[in-house]
Amino acid sequence: MVKIVISGHGQLSTGILSAFEMIFGADPAVIAIPFLKGEGLPQVQEKFQAEIDALAEGEEVLFLVDVFGGTPYNAAAQVIYPLKNADILTGVNLPLVLEAASRKDGENLAEIIPALKNVGYESFKVFTEEIKKTQTDSEEDLL
């Protein structure tokens, strides 16, 4: 099983978790740890370390953070560096959390991460491009 820790600047992580719970319901293996105004790297590391310390035997942890090189990323990197059962992905968004959560019980990190690498790309859509595709598909169907 993989525990998922969502983190980011301000209340980003709690907002994403709230949206996740509207769709999936509450899941104790998916949590949010915000990086709040007035906190620094040591405070965030302490919160992350508490989650690492609470892992069950054989459990893995995946940190989904907002930006590469930001405080949540740096704190997670320092906490997981010596571990083999943890990793970090940047660019957290709701589709990424939904996909990770749908795989966390049946797959390990080595299986989940490659699938998650495509989620950001696949979930990014531009309205005008999608309309053009639909119109092109409709025109081809008429031929």
Give the residue numbers annotated as catalytic, written as ranges: 9
Scored b (16 or more CB within 10 A) or e, 48-58 reads beebbeeeeee
- Residue 120 and residue 133: Cα distance in Å, rounded? 20
The first and second tokens of residue 81, run together, are 């560096």
Sequence-distant (6+) residues with CB within 8 A of 33 are: 5, 6, 7, 13, 44, 47, 48, 51, 72
